[in-house]
Amino acid sequence: MNSLKYQRSHFSKFGSGQLDIHIDFKPGWKFNDPGSNSLCPVHDTVERTWRHVNFFQHDCYVHARVARIRLPDGSVRQVGVLWAMEGSSFTLLFEAMSMLLVKEGMSLSGAGRMVDQDSRVIGRIIERYVDQAKKEQMLEQVEVLGIDEVSIQKGHQYLSILSDSKRKKVVGVGLGKGKEAVLEGLEEMESRGSKAEGVKYATTDFSPSYISAVLEYIPNAIQIYDRFHLEQLLSKAVDTVRKQEQSEATELKKTKYLWLRNEQTLTPKQQAKIYYLSICFPKIGEAYRLKELFKQIFDYADQLGSIQDLKEWMKIAATSKLVTIQQFLNALRSHWSGITNYFRKHFTNAYAEQLNSTIQLIKRVARGYRNIDNYITMIYFKLGGLNFHTH
């Protein structure tokens, strides 16, 4: 289409109106057919209209006679246009703007209001681009796979998120948090070229389903239990001690987050309070000291490269009479192999945990998703590392 003809409609007296851009081609023009690599004559035309980005405050539409050409074999095919995807009623620029608004944090409904479209229209645009990108863009072989669950709705509904810890992107999503969910995510990953048998390391929490799934579906992977999950378990043990002591001591009320925060993040005043309360309440003081020492061991693990310090910590903790500490020790012993693997390779589920926070933000911005497929589409849109061709 080598001839452009512009026509502007009349504006209303209030200053609002519509700009119409008409695109046409010269009589006798021939179009190239990529399949046969030949110039083909026009058989007939189809009138098409596309919604374009606003021109100042005015709605803007592109109109064109789209040619249908006769191919060398006698069949007829409609030619594509440069400004829109096949089958779309929006220009590429309009779709790019809509997607950018959502990418930068706006909800589907908010983006819809900005471009004067229903939120479902914006959702369908994003879905089309995500589906196309996933089909066209193959994954590099995932070597370090993070597996974590994320809550999606009330009533204990979850998604299992599989992520490439090195390249920082989501590579698979499964419904639920059982073995089947991991398998579903792996099938998605493999459909895009990354093989489960090629995964060298898998980081998980202590979920029996995830542990079993790695053993069964990712047999070549060395399983590593996430250090942050261990620290969370120990923090819960500390908080249980606080609750037990608090029932008899009003001084411990409203101190929960003092005990759970890392010591180096406390202000001098908060550190002094922790020191005072630890003397007054030796049980919570003991649990807190063990928690801080445990974290230091993992912080320095990448420098020392030895698990001996953790073994020494376990000997100290074994002398504790606190039930929750003994329960935590039992959890360490029963998952010892995956814990020692951390000290060899230092891989964690930190990126998977970061994804969890971002995914929860996606849900909050949308105020929830009634359709799980739409939720998964948004996860890939924002966290899948996909490239969208909108020009």
> How confident is the model at residue 195, as a pLDDT?
97
What's the CA gap between 381 and 129, in Å, rounded? 9
Q: Note the pTM of the prediction, 2 decimals.
A: 0.81
4 bridge partner residues: 23
Residue-level pLDDT at 130: 96
Question: To the nearest whole number, what is the mean pLDDT of the chain?
Answer: 88
Whole-number pLDDT of residue 15: 45
CA distances from 275 to 78, 254, 283, 317, 388 (A): 78, 16, 13, 20, 54
Q: Would you call 303 helix, strand, or coil by DSSP?
A: helix
Query: What CA–CA distance (Å, rounded) separates 123 from 101?
Result: 12
Which has the closest alpha carbon to 383: 108, 171, 155?
171
Tens of pLDDT, residue by residue over 218-235, are 999 999 988 888 999 999
- CA distances for 71 relative to 29, 31, 356, angstroms: 14, 10, 52
Q: What is the DSSP string of 358-374?
A: HHHHHHHHHT--SSHHH
pLDDT in tens, the chain (391 residues): 433 333 333 333 344 588 999 999 998 999 999 888 899 999 999 999 999 999 888 899 999 999 999 999 999 999 999 999 988 999 999 999 999 999 988 999 999 999 999 999 999 999 999 999 999 999 999 999 999 998 887 656 899 999 999 999 999 999 999 999 999 999 999 999 999 999 999 999 899 999 999 999 999 999 998 888 899 999 999 999 999 988 878 888 889 999 998 888 899 999 999 999 999 999 999 999 999 999 988 888 766 657 888 999 999 999 999 999 999 999 999 999 899 888 887 787 778 778 888 888 888 776 656 788 888 999 999 999 999 876 5
